[in-house]
Amino acid sequence: MLEYIKQWLAQRRGGAIGDHDPGNLPEPKTVAEQQLSRCRLIVLDLETTGLNASKDEVIAIGAVAIEGGVIHLDDQFDLILRRPELDIRETVLIHGIGPEALTQGHETEDALLYLLEWMNGDPVLAYHSAFDQKFLEKTLKAQLGYARPHIWMDVAELLPALFPNSNVKGRGLDDWADFFGLEVSERHHAAADALVTAELTLIALNKARKNNVKTLKELAEKLHYQRRLKNMQRY
Amino acid sequence: MNFLREHSPFSSMDDTHLAHFAEHATLRFYADEDVVLSPEDGVVKRFYIVKQGRIRGERHNEKEDRAETTFEISQGECFPLAALIGERPTRTLHRASGDTFCLSIEQKAFITLFSESDSFRDFCLRGVSSLLDQVNQRIQSNAMASIGSSNSLDTPLERYALRNPIVCSPDLPVHKAVARMHENNVGSIIITDDNRHPTGIFTLRDLRTMIAEAKGPLDTPIRQVMTRDPCRLPATADAFEAAMLMAEHHFAHLCVVDENDLLIGVVSERDLFSLQRVDLVNLARTIGTATHLRTLVSLRADVSRLVDSMLAHGADSGQVVKIITTLNDVTVRRVLELNLKKDDPGIPFTWLTFGSEGRQEQTLLTDQDNGILFETPDGMTEEQVREKLLPFARKVNDELAECGFTLCKGNIMASNPKLCLSVAEWDDWFIRFIDASTPQNLVYSSIFLDMRAVFGPTDSLHRLLERVLARIRKNALFQKMLAGNALQRKPPLTMFRNFRYLNEEKKHVLDLKRQGLAPFVESIRVFALANGIENANTLERMEQLSKKGVFDAKDANAWKEAYSLIQAIRMRAHQEMLDRDEPLTNYIDPDDLNPLDRRILRESFRQAQRLQQKLEVTYQL
């Protein structure tokens, strides 16, 4: 089944990849009065060869789109980048992508161009987004010379901001997934992790609506406030 | 996608249809108490599947002005079916119960799937309750595969007994009757009257006895030597009933009759068991005619072997527990008979059994729960009767222990003077039991309120039970306390519909008896007693509750199935423990089960929750 869908997706994307217009990529959006209940959000997860952004590389990108407050399962992104020259023995154990799967990946440039088109400049959310942002920006810069700023939001910040009293054991994705009883089909698989992050985002957006946080701007302000609160507590 | 593949109807859908679903699906989140669908939304436009969490249906109760839960939809189930197919608004408010994720497709995609996928359409049309049916079909088809034929004990008797039975009139001399049997190569002949009603049966065994005991010349009219009034069953009865009747009476042949008691056929033990290769009747007969205790003791191993092969042949759990109970009954009766022969106390009595044996739900793991009911003969006091009966009962209890029925730790045994009582004393005992309902009494309710006679006259027990039931029906407080007690044991599911394990130490262990079966047995008992049902068997109680309209027929079926499925998984676990020479327990680790069984188990526990909810609503607990 999965194979079938992968094949089908590959066919659908087959046309797109290799036929891009690098000069005419979608304009990244800015934080404004977009209605959260309507706008499209990208939830993304990367797999990398390690944790060090200056030396490690991106292996796979999984992303899911939320639009109108729901996850559209036909609007997903699951790519393995072709990086055969990388030595990936260290992290293969964590995410289960072996050298063979890597070589089957798409040509890096094509894949990244496709990603930018698919993202459509929409806000990007990730769990511990600073990590994903750093890696993705570095990769886009190195491969495409692309350096335009996108909106990034951290789901790891969003959740405690909206559920301040929840008694979550730790600060990891698994902790929140456990807290809400979510099932992760294949942990450390970019697409599966992205889906779980997106599910958590849906929970957060539902709560935001109830707290009368309606626009992207209001949400960004809430996160900003949360960050300041946290910094204050630190001192 | 993996999620879909694990759940009906997607598990049986084509890949292309599944892909069609996935391409059109959205994943939605509803926080606890969020409204998912409401009658005010107008004609239903979407189809939903619960990926995680629960949806409950809510209807407004005009009379009491409050919301009532009408149904629950949990993981892997779909809604709204009727409204979507009928292209109308839903009649029930659908509300999230706990944080819930649903997969959803639009009506258009739904219609495409509905028209293109047979299994999807079947599923939608048959409704959600068909899930258990499906699970059952699968279990049975597995069982069939292992038997390698389509015959099972569920087969109606007419399939076995259609051939023309050999008959004769009552005046025929024995030698002519035997000649007729010989010509047709059969072991029995049915004696009928002019209207083809069976009046007697004569078998080769009867012939052997006749010759061995020199009962008369071979030209004796057959009516003088036949067994009168032979056992009969209607053609609609199934092979299992026939086997049970044979086992109980140690007959090898039964007449099959139509609704007017006209003979249509004969079914023999061989007919039934050539398929099953299970010598139930023979075993019952051997037990029932054993002349020494040590023979009985050695036969217990055969009982275990029999259960093994029945399970291996895919017999239904309800049938297997009944067979075990029947064989246990035969053993108990034989122990009593042997003791009566040796040392008759001279006072007629009824041997009672309580608890699981009373309910006819024994498995291989069993201990004694019994008592004695007697009518005090004129001129004797109850104490004097007890003086005679108690030593006898002690002997029987000890011998039963030798046969493998463990002595009851709580001393619930006939040799206990408190449980060897006259009719009047039992009456008083139950009055105290019901009117002074102490916590201890409630614990005992699972024992004493499931009572049955195994040996001796049954009339006085029947009258006693009638009075007990009448008292319970009048005593609303007792019912309520009983209901409260029945809710003590919750089915082992967490809020998220995962398994709730026994405790922290036994992290992955479920107790199938206490956590799985007990919620059914105890809830059903309350309903049965409150509605005057005398039968103690849980499945039969459910059947009668459904007939009386106390349970909705669909609910009753789902509960019967769920109960039987848990029992089946438990018995299979027992057999596996026996194979490994481990002591029998009721503990299992659900991770050891295959995904289907896990699903069955979870579904069955959910049914237990629904049953308990009905109890809560009925008794406002």
Q: Which of B22, B23, B101 sits opposite A199 (nearest CB)?
A: B101
Q: Is the pLDDT of residue A2 over 70?
A: no
Residue A164 lies in a domain: yes
Q: Do A8 and B29 touch (CB under 8 A)?
A: no
Same-fold call for B157-238+253-272 versus B281-474? no
Q: Which residue has the higher pLDDT, A3 or B198?
A: B198
Chain B CB within 8 Å of residue A206 CB: yes
- Per-residue pLDDT reduced to its tens digit, B41-96: 888 889 998 888 888 888 776 666 677 777 777 777 788 877 777 677 888 889 99
* Architecture field, domain B2-128: Sandwich (2.60)
Q: What pLDDT band is residue A14 in, cutting at 50, 70 and 90?
A: very low
Of B158-167, B342-351, B356-365, which has the strongest mean pLDDT? B342-351
CA-based nearest residue in chain B for residue A3? B15
- Structure confidence at residue A36 (pLDDT): 87
| DSSP-derived 3-state class of residue A154 | strand
Which of A1-15, B184-198, B218-232 bottoms out in mean pLDDT, i.e. has the lowest?
Answer: A1-15
- Structure confidence at residue A88 (pLDDT): 52
Beta strands in B328-394 (DSSP E): 349-354, 370-374
* In chain B, where the domains are located: 2-128, 157-238+253-272, 281-474, 483-619
Q: Are B498 and B507 in contact (CB under 8 A)?
A: no
Read off the tokens for B503. Answer: 């405790």
Read off the tokens for B542. Answer: 């459910």
In chain B, the N- to C-terminal Cα span, in Å, equals 41
Cis peptide before B9 (omega within 30 of 0): yes
Q: Is the pLDDT of residue B517 over 80?
A: yes
Q: Length of chain B in residues, anyone?
A: 621
CA-angle at B330, arms to B210 and B511, nearest 5°: 155
Shortest distance between the Cα of A65 and any Cα of chain B, in A, equals 10
Q: Do A206 and B23 touch (CB under 8 A)?
A: no
C-alpha R_g of chain B: 28
Shortest distance between the Cα of B53 and any Cα of chain A, in A, equals 9
Q: Do A183 and B18 touch (CB under 8 A)?
A: no
Residues of chain A contacting residue B3, judged by C-beta atoms under 8 Å apart: 183, 185
- Structure confidence at residue B261 (pLDDT): 87
Q: Are B124 and B107 in contact (CB under 8 A)?
A: no
Task: Find the chain B residues whose C-beta atoms sit closer than 8 A to any C-beta of A.
Answer: 1-3, 5, 15-16, 18-19, 22-31, 34, 52-53, 99, 101, 103-104, 495-496, 498
- Selected for mutation to probe chain A from B5, B17, B26 (highest A CB count within 10 Å) is B26
Class of CATH domain B157-238+253-272: alpha beta
- Structure confidence at residue A124 (pLDDT): 95
In chain A, the N- to C-terminal Cα span, in Å, equals 54
Residues of chain A contacting residue B19, judged by C-beta atoms under 8 Å apart: 1, 4-5, 8
Chain B CB within 8 Å of residue A72 CB: yes
Task: Please give the backbone phi and psi of residue A123, each rounded to the nearest 5 degrees, phi first.
Answer: -55, 145
Chain B CB within 8 Å of residue A10 CB: no
- Selected for mutation to probe chain B from A73, A180, A186 (highest B CB count within 10 Å) is A73
Q: Do B52 and A4 touch (CB under 8 A)?
A: no
Q: Is the pLDDT of residue A50 over 60?
A: yes
- CATH no. of B483-619: 1.20.120
- Per-residue pLDDT reduced to its tens digit, B195-250: 889 999 998 888 888 888 888 888 889 998 898 888 888 888 877 777 777 777 77
Q: Do A74 and B25 touch (CB under 8 A)?
A: yes
Q: How far apart are CA B328 and CA B233, in angstroms?
A: 23
Q: Which of residues 164-183 of A touch B (CB under 8 A)?
A: 180-183
Shortest distance between the Cα of B85 and any Cα of chain A, in A, equals 24
Residue B339: partners with Cβ closer than 8 Å, 6 or more residues away: B392, B395, B396, B399
Task: Please give the backbone phi and psi of residue A86, each rounded to the nearest 5 degrees, phi first.
Answer: -80, 145
Confidence check on the interface: ipTM exceeds 0.90, yes or no: no
CA-based nearest residue in chain A for residue B101? A199
Q: Is the pLDDT of residue A193 over 70?
A: yes
Number of domains forming the structure of chain A: 1
Q: What pLDDT band is residue B129 in, cutting at 50, 70 and 90?
A: very low
Mean pLDDT within B476-481 = 87
> Exposed, middle or buried: residue B349 (CB in 10 Å: 0-12, 13-18, 19+)?
buried
Residues of chain A contacting residue B26, judged by C-beta atoms under 8 Å apart: 70-73
> Exposed, middle or buried: residue A34 (CB in 10 Å: 0-12, 13-18, 19+)?
buried
Q: How far apart are CA A69 and CA B130, in angstroms?
A: 33
Q: Do A74 and B19 touch (CB under 8 A)?
A: no
- Structure confidence at residue B154 (pLDDT): 62
Residues of chain A contacting residue B28, judged by C-beta atoms under 8 Å apart: 69-71, 202
Shortest distance between the Cα of A56 and any Cα of chain B, in A, equals 31
Q: Are B206 and B223 in contact (CB under 8 A)?
A: no
Residue B170: how many CB atoms within 10 A of its CB? Answer: 14
Shortest distance between the Cα of B496 and any Cα of chain A, in A, equals 7
- Structure confidence at residue B144 (pLDDT): 40
Q: What pLDDT band is residue B365 in, cutting at 50, 70 and 90?
A: low
Q: Is the pLDDT of residue B276 over 80?
A: no
- Structure confidence at residue B506 (pLDDT): 58
Q: What pLDDT band is residue B147 in, cutting at 50, 70 and 90?
A: very low
Q: Do A183 and B29 touch (CB under 8 A)?
A: no
What is the dihedral sign for C-alpha A45, A50, A51, A54?
negative
Task: Walk across the sheet containing A40-48 and list its strands.
Answer: A152-154, A124-126, A40-48, A58-67, A70-80, B26-30, B100-106, B46-52, B78-79
Residues of chain B contacting residue A180, judged by C-beta atoms under 8 Å apart: 99
Q: Which CATH superfamily is domain B281-474 in?
A: Beta Polymerase, domain 2 (3.30.460.10)
Read off the tokens for B578. Answer: 């026996």
Q: Do A2 and B1 touch (CB under 8 A)?
A: yes
Mean pLDDT of chain A: 79
Q: How far apart are CA B452 and CA B457, in angstroms?
A: 11
- Per-residue pLDDT reduced to its tens digit, A111-167: 788 889 889 999 999 999 999 999 999 988 888 888 889 999 999 989 988 888 877
Q: What pLDDT band is residue B155 in, cutting at 50, 70 and 90?
A: low
- Structure confidence at residue B4 (pLDDT): 67
Q: How far apart are CA B546 and CA B527, in angstroms?
A: 11
Which of B16-25, B305-314, B365-374 bottoms out in mean pLDDT, i.e. has the lowest?
Answer: B305-314
Q: Which of B1, B19, B496 sits opposite A8 (nearest CB)?
A: B19
Q: What pLDDT band is residue A11 in, cutting at 50, 70 and 90?
A: low
Q: Which domain holds residue A136?
A: 33-234
Shortest distance between the Cα of A156 and any Cα of chain B, in A, equals 18
Q: Is the pLDDT of residue B426 over 90?
A: yes
Q: Taking each helix axis from N to C terminus, what angle separates B317-342 and B239-249, rounded to the nearest 10 degrees? A: 10
Q: How far apart are CA B261 and CA B421, in angstroms?
A: 41
Which of A153-162, B123-132, B563-572 bottoms out in mean pLDDT, i.e. has the lowest?
Answer: B123-132
Q: Are B238 and B154 in contact (CB under 8 A)?
A: yes
- Structure confidence at residue A1 (pLDDT): 54
Q: Is the pLDDT of residue B312 over 80?
A: no
Instruction: State the pairing for strand pair B198-203/B188-192.
Output: antiparallel
- Per-residue pLDDT reduced to its tens digit, B388-402: 999 999 999 999 988
Shortest distance between the Cα of A203 and any Cα of chain B, in A, equals 6
Read off the tokens for B253. Answer: 């042949």
Q: Do A4 and B34 touch (CB under 8 A)?
A: no
Q: What percent of chain B has pLDDT over 90?
A: 20
**Max CA pair span of chain A:** 55
Mean pLDDT within A203-210 = 91
- Structure confidence at residue B327 (pLDDT): 84
CA-based nearest residue in chain B for residue A208? B31
Residue A23 lies in a domain: no
Read off the tokens for A153. Answer: 């939001």
Q: Do A71 and B26 touch (CB under 8 A)?
A: yes
Helix H segments across B313-381?
A: 317-342, 355-358
Q: Are B160 and B243 in contact (CB under 8 A)?
A: no
Q: Which of B26, B53, B498 sits opposite A72 (nearest CB)?
A: B26
Report the C-alpha dihedral over residues B593, B595, B599, B600, rounded to 10 degrees: -60
Q: Which of A1, A8, A199 sits opposite B1 (nearest CB)?
A: A1
Which of A188-202, B142-156, B346-360, B415-429 bottoms out in mean pLDDT, i.e. has the lowest?
Answer: B142-156
Q: Is the pLDDT of residue A9 over 80?
A: no
- Structure confidence at residue B36 (pLDDT): 92
Strand partners, A45: A62
Q: Is the pLDDT of residue B545 over 90?
A: yes
- Selected for mutation to probe chain B from A37, A66, A70 (highest B CB count within 10 Å) is A70
Residue A176: how many CB atoms within 10 A of its CB? Answer: 26
- Per-residue pLDDT reduced to its tens digit, B440-477: 777 777 788 889 999 999 899 999 999 999 998 888 88
Q: Which residue has the higher pLDDT, B47 or B582?
A: B47
- Structure confidence at residue B383 (pLDDT): 92
- Structure confidence at residue B397 (pLDDT): 93
**For position A200, which CATH number holds?**
3.30.420.10
DSSP secondary-structure letter at B521? Answer: H
Shortest distance between the Cα of A37 and any Cα of chain B, in A, equals 12
Cα B250 versus chain centre, distance: 23
Chain B CB within 8 Å of residue A5 CB: yes
Q: How far apart are CA B66 and CA B56, in angstroms?
A: 15
Residues of chain A contacting residue B30, judged by C-beta atoms under 8 Å apart: 206
What is the dihedral sign for C-alpha B547, B551, B552, B554?
negative
Residue A26 lies in a domain: no
Q: How far apart are CA B312 and CA A136, in angstroms?
A: 59
Q: How far apart are CA B206 and CA B202, in angstroms?
A: 6
CA-based nearest residue in chain A for residue B2? A185
Mean pLDDT of chain B: 81
